[in-house]
Amino acid sequence: MKFAVVVFPGSNSDHDAQYAAERVLGQQAEFIWHKDTSLRGADAVILPGGFAHGDYLRTGAIARFSPIMDAVRKFAEAGGPVLGICNGFQVLLEAGMLPGAMLRNRGVKFVCEHVIVKVEQTDTPFTLACHPGQTLRIPIAHGEGNYYAEPDVIARLEKNRQIIFRYTNAAGVPTDESNPNGSVANIAGLCNERRNVVGLMPHPERACELAVGSADGLVVLESVVRAVKGGRGAFSEDTFDLMTSTRESVLGK
């Protein structure tokens, strides 16, 4: 399969994502410059971490207007799997592809450390290889990772099972001490209603080999490879139909 790794001015995890896809998973990965208008036949899209456009105005606020984002939005609307990592998650929020916003970390400091996240839901292209409640040790590196949304939005996310990852302790229990940035409800990652767009602040692409301290993040990218190659067989009937109904209407099938 083929990954498209979108590169914005200031991206710094693009090569990490490309390395994980090609060197670890053995798949194809192509860099797509933010001024491009085509994803060049990609099967999955990664918006990587970094500081797109220097994080001027707000994180992701300028990147949302990049020409490539029109292609990313159409790809997602057609059911294509999109993963936003750290700054990529912030871009998805600014682009309105995921609900909510990012605030400064509650400690008003840049945080760079390994954290524990629990997999809350497994019916997305990026978690189907996980098991419910699985905990992953993955690094974070951000200054504005404090996820916020209004209470009614959080209630809707909970009801729709759109909260995909939470910060927890080693036992898988979400606590204030295990929350590195103050995110509401310990949210580390979430998905859209169709479940094909996922954003998370931790960096799974930086945890794909034991030599770098953890290989727990590999399951996130392994999941989308299985999703793309497995088609309907990779998901339950209801989930597959939900993720592909729009794609079929867009393609006129």
Domain-by-domain residue ranges, the chain? 2-251
Question: In angstroms, rounded to a whole number, what is the distance separating the alpha carbons of residues 136 and 229?
Answer: 24
pLDDT at 246: 36
Query: Is 1.20.1050.10 the CATH number for 2-251?
Result: no
pLDDT at 245: 44
The residue behind tokens 């400091």 is 109
Question: In angstroms, rounded to a whole number, what is the distance separating the alpha carbons of residues 166 and 120?
Answer: 7
Question: In angstroms, rounded to a whole number, what is the distance separating the alpha carbons of residues 182 and 177?
Answer: 9
Angle at 238 between CA 232 and CA 241, to 5 degrees: 60
pLDDT at 244: 42
pLDDT at 231: 62
SS (H, E, C) 66-92: CCHHHHHHHHHHCCCCEEEECHHHHHH
Active-site residue set? 86, 203, 205
DSSP 27: -
DSSP-derived 3-state class of residue 198: strand
DSSP-derived 3-state class of residue 197: strand
**Spatial contact of 83 and 127, defined as CB atoms under 8 Å apart:** no
Number of Cβ within a 10 Å radius of residue 154: 19
The pLDDT profile of the chain, 253 residues, written as one tens digit per residue, is: 999 999 999 999 999 999 999 999 999 999 999 999 999 999 999 999 999 999 998 999 999 999 999 999 999 999 999 999 999 999 999 999 999 999 999 999 999 999 999 999 999 999 999 999 999 999 999 999 999 999 999 999 999 999 999 999 999 999 999 999 999 999 999 999 999 999 999 999 999 999 999 999 999 999 999 999 986 455 444 544 544 443 343 333 3
pLDDT at 242: 46
pLDDT tens digit sequence for 43-90 = 999 999 999 999 998 999 999 999 999 999 999 999 999 999 999 999
Question: In angstroms, rounded to a whole number, what is the distance separating the alpha carbons of residues 31 and 18?
Answer: 8
Question: In angstroms, rounded to a whole number, what is the distance separating the alpha carbons of residues 87 and 103?
Answer: 13
pLDDT at 230: 86
Number of Cβ within a 10 Å radius of residue 93: 25
pLDDT at 232: 47
